[in-house]
Amino acid sequence: SQQGEEDPQALSIQEGENATMNCSYKTSINNLQWYRQNSGRGLVHLILIRSNEREKHSGRLRVTLDTSKKSSSLLITASRAADTASYFCATTNDYKLSFGAGTTVTVRA
Amino acid sequence: GAGVSQSPSNKVTEKGKDVELRCDPISGHTALYWYRQSLGQGLEFLIYFQGNSAPDKSGLPSDRFSAERTGGSVSTLTIQRTQQEDSAVYLCASLRSLGGNTIYFGEGSWLTVV
């Protein structure tokens, strides 16, 4: 079953702009992970944020986590055409890894 | 191995035939997951292994689906009497141990039932 919900479902931006997508979840979590998927194949791990962390950075990526609101956001700064992909959040509770439906990001050149 | 390896990469099969999908997790990873993703959809959990046992197989959609894991390593997902609705990408993932670790995915096996 899907626990997370991403918002928006789709996002189209100009190269160089920032892209922000949100994820909401329902139950308590150990950590939350963001993944990227190109062309419907394997998922590439982007970043993991633990339940006791509030913000994390990795290169052009910034992730926030608000456990009181049960939500997370992923910000991609200075987007590039290569960032075009689907992005999924996944929550971990014990062993259970639950995914949202994803946000499809299109970066226009 | 260096990453999670899945085979075959692509499989086209006739309706009613059985298929086997293989997953080689990262060496030393104790936890292994199978997910299914239909075109344009999110990931649907199928089964979770810890070592060779499957404490959660609640996501297997019917008794035509089964999975096993041997030696705490390789896992095989078997679909018997395939149906067209089984067409999807089947993704395998592995995790070193529970608690705060990154889960790594393979490239998936794309199954098309004609």
pLDDT bin (cut points 50, 70, 90) of residue B67 is very high
Percent of chain A with pLDDT over 70: 95
Q: In this structure, what is the dihedral angle of CA atoms A41, B57, A5, B91, given to the nearest 10 degrees?
A: 0
Q: Which of A30, A33, A90 sits opposite B99 (nearest CB)?
A: A30
A-chain residues near B108 (CB < 8 A): 41-42
Tokens of residue B55, six digits? 């404490």
Region class of A69: left (phi > 0), else alpha (psi between -120 and 50), else beta: alpha
Specify the range with the lowest mean pLDDT, choosing from A101-105, B40-44, B60-64, B105-109.
B40-44
CB B108 to CB A41 under 8 A? yes
Chain mean pLDDT for chain A: 91
A42 to chain B, any CB pair closer than 8 A? The answer is: yes
CB atoms inside a 10 Å sphere around CB A54: 11
B34 to chain A, any CB pair closer than 8 A? The answer is: no
- Nearest residue of B to residue A47, measured between CA atoms: B102
Q: Residue B99 pLDDT > 70, yes or no? A: no
Residue B46: predicted pLDDT:
96
pLDDT bin (cut points 50, 70, 90) of residue A1 is very low
What average pLDDT does the segment A65-94 reach?
94
B-chain residues near A95 (CB < 8 A): 31, 48, 50, 55-56, 98
Instruction: Name the maximum alpha-carbon separation found in chain A.
Output: 42
- Kindly state the DSSP code that residue A28 receives in the 8-state scheme: -
Residue B103: predicted pLDDT:
87
pLDDT bin (cut points 50, 70, 90) of residue B98 is low
Contact yes or no for A91/A72 (Cβ under 8 A): no
Q: B42: distance to nearest CA of chain A, Å?
A: 4
pLDDT in tens, A23-37: 999 988 989 999 999
What average pLDDT does the segment B3-25 reach?
97
